[in-house]
Amino acid sequence: MRPVKSHHFMKGTAVKFFAPALLLCVAANCAAAPTNRLFVTNENSDNVSVIDLATNKVTATVDIGKRPRGIGRAPDGSAIYVAVSNENSIAVLDPQSLKVLRKFHCGEDPETFAVHPNGNIYISNENDAMASIYDPATGKLIQEVKVGNEPEGVAISPDGKRAIVTSESSNLIHILAIPEYKITANVLVGARPRAATFNRDGSIVYATSEIGAEVKKIEASTGKIIGHVPLADDKAKPKDILISRDGTKLYVAGGRANRVFVIDEKSLAVLHEIPVGKRVWGLAMNRDGSRIYSTDGASNQVSVIDTKENKAIAQIPVGDAPWGVAIDD
Amino acid sequence: MPLARAFGVAALALLLSLDCAADTAPALGAKLVVVGKSGTPSVEGAAQGIAEAKQQGEFLGQQFELSIVPTPDAVPADGVAAILTTGQDDVARELAKRHPNVPVLNLAAQDDALRARCAPNLFHVIPSTSMLNDAVAQWRKQHPDAQVAARAWHPKFEKYAASQLNLRFEKRFEHPMDDTAWSGWAGVKLVTDLIAQTRNAAPAMLVEALRTKLAFDGQKGSTMSFRPNGQLSQPILLVAGEKIVGEAPVRGVADVDDLASLGESQCVP
């Protein structure tokens, strides 16, 4: 990996830097080589910390705009998208050159979004009770779907056929069929559902409720609740949720509990509680599933979790109030 | 047709019809009544709450309705899932006595004595005087010279999605959300949330569920439930001038999740 220097922010250099990668492409949809970087939004310092996965060091900090929160990676690795909440836009960041390529308007106060395998962005518009689908290449709005109050978490099934939107203040999980953009089920869950994820074949959804302090396991085709994990820790305010690459374990960011919960997918028993920094919200997993990175918002750090040892093996200082995390590996 | 077979077909038909009935069950409905005056903050808050309950109900096939009546006498004797009162102690007491099997939610009266009576169907959404006093006392332990006021809510409160609620209220009523507007919103929302969850709007069941099953998101960052004396546990905001300076339980003085550190929960027979 190349070290990031300030000259990469200059236009001419960036183009030159890109040229070899472009030559390797034989089709329009060729994937960019992974940068092996972690991207972290810092909500209060209006920037993105860029971390080298090999050294666990911050190698660059990119100014992105006011109050960055949600972050995601284009399926082909060509872009990192950042929801710039107080600018009502999505910023498109080049993971190689670290230049902000453009920003497009995406409705009021964008917070969380998910990227569909076809590249489209599914975003919740918290103040309008809407979910919107955008084509990030053109910035064009493709579709709007009416959902409950304060929509927040968005997830898309690996096959791209279903999406989840959580409505925080209506306590609902909406299941959408794609490409019809129709709601097929509305599932009432515990208070303030914040985030969701699918299992590998897309048949099951797992959703966290922050105030209800629980995880619900839901059959995607019917919206039927098939399991329930109450988090006994009275400090637990769960947010992000991930499933292990082999599908046997769930990882839940515990918020004020300052730990990541490891839950058995079948028995739904809490197997481990991994202490991390304060107010842990964001989670990202590397490609082979050996590491999880958590944003510890009130500790201004990212924790690196070894999933075999079930412990944090490093803490990386980042900006003020780290929120979201995306990985390009 | 042999009798046994006919019976079998009939049983199957009955099973099918029962199954059908389960799928197309009549929409759950509930009517709430608020005793108060239109245009007051607590009634506006209740109207905000019912609008949000209707919005949720659209997705779940549940219908909610709120009537505003001027006096306790105008509350219907039947068909009401919950009564909210914007009046003082005497009105709250009177309503709880007249409707012993219906939850009565006090939105405005702050006296501790009202709570100490522990009427089984009387619930207090607005914080008690002792909760507010304890919040100030906790703050003064860290800031002995500070002049702060304790509040249930503030229009400038932003954390825990408070800004979203403030924005919704201001959009609808074109003025800021104050303490009793919040209690009006919360009173309706916690009842309708519980009806949605239990799929049961029977008032006597609601009295029981409010006491035992509530895990309410009042958009103040904590899970709220009712104490044995009927008081809603909740964080309190500390305000100096027009600035929010802190939240109670005050970190460093009490555990931030120890809502019991604020106010009383005793019943005085």
Domain count, chain B: 1
* Domain assignment present for B85: yes
- Residue B45 in domain: yes
A224 touches chain B (CB under 8 A): no
pLDDT for the residue A30: 60
B264 contacts chain A (CB < 8 A)? no
**Span A236-256, mean pLDDT?**
97
Q: Is the pLDDT of residue B5 over 70?
A: no
Segment B37-41 mean pLDDT: 97
Q: What is the DSSP string of chain B?
A: --HHHHHHHHHHHHHHHHHHHHHTPPPEEEEEEEES-TTSHHHHHHHHHHHHHHHHHHHHTEEEEEEEESSGGGS-SSS-SEEEE-S-HHHHHHHHHH-TTS-EEESS---HHHHHT--TTEEE-SPPHHHHHHHHHHHHHH-TT---EEES--TT--GGGHHHHHHHHHHHHSS---HHHHHHHHHHHHHHHHHHHHT---HHHHHHHHHHT--EE-SSSSEE-B-TTSBBP--EEEEETTEEEEEESPBTTB-TT-GGGSS------
pLDDT digits (tens, 9 = 90+) for B198-226: 999 999 999 999 999 999 999 999 999 99
**For A225-234, what is each residue's pLDDT tens digit?**
999 999 988 8
- Contact list, A174 vs chain B (CB under 8 Å): 59
Q: What's the domain range around B201?
A: 26-126+161-233
Task: Give pLDDT tens digits for A151-209.
Answer: 999 999 999 999 999 999 999 999 999 999 999 999 999 999 999 999 999 999 999 99
Residue B150 lies in a domain: no
**Average pLDDT for chain A:** 92
Quickly state the pLDDT bin for B62 (edges 50, 70, 90): very high
Grade residue B18 by pLDDT with cuts at 50, 70 and 90.
very low
Q: What is the pLDDT of residue B17?
A: 38
Give the CATH number of the domain where residue B166 resides: 3.40.50.2300
pLDDT in tens, B88-140: 999 999 999 999 999 999 999 999 999 999 999 999 999 999 999 999 999 99
Q: What is the mean pLDDT of residues A236-257?
A: 97
Domain assignment present for B251: no
Give the residue from chain A lying closest to B215, CA to CA: A212
Distance (Å) from the alpha carbon of B77 to chain A's nearest alpha carbon: 30
- Given a cut of 80, is residue A16 above it in pLDDT? no
- Chain B residues with CB-CB distance to A172 below 8 A: 56, 59-60
Q: Give me the pLDDT at residue A126, please.
A: 85
**How distant is the Cα of A233 from the closest Cα of chain B, in angstroms?**
11
A 120-159 residues inside an 8 A Cβ radius of B: 126-127, 129, 148-150
Please write the tens of the pLDDT for every residue from A28-60. Answer: 456 779 999 999 999 999 999 999 999 999 999
**What's the pLDDT at A259?**
97
The pLDDT tens digits for B234-269 are 999 999 998 999 999 999 999 999 999 999 888 886
Is B165 contained in some domain? yes
Would you say residue B115 lies in a domain?
Answer: yes
**Average pLDDT estimate for B137-162:** 96
Output the pLDDT for position A233: 86
B residues 211..230 contacting A (CB < 8 A) = 215-217, 219, 222-223
* Cβ separation B197–A188 shorter than 8 A: yes
Could you tell me if residue B8 is inside a domain? no
Q: CB-CB: which of B59, B168, B217 is closest to A148?
A: B59
Please identify among residues 174-213 of chain A the ones whose CB lies closer than 8 Å to any CB of chain B.
174, 183, 186, 188, 190-192, 211-213
Mean pLDDT score, B40-54: 98
Mean pLDDT of chain B: 91
Is residue B61 assigned to a domain? yes
Using the Cβ of A248 and the Cβ atoms of chain B, whether some distance falls under 8 Å is answered with no
pLDDT at residue A319 in the model: 98
Of B52, B256, B257, the CB nearest to A149: B52
Please report residues of A whose CB lies closer than 8 A to that of B257. 234-235, 256
Distance from CA of A61 to the nearest CA of B (A): 26
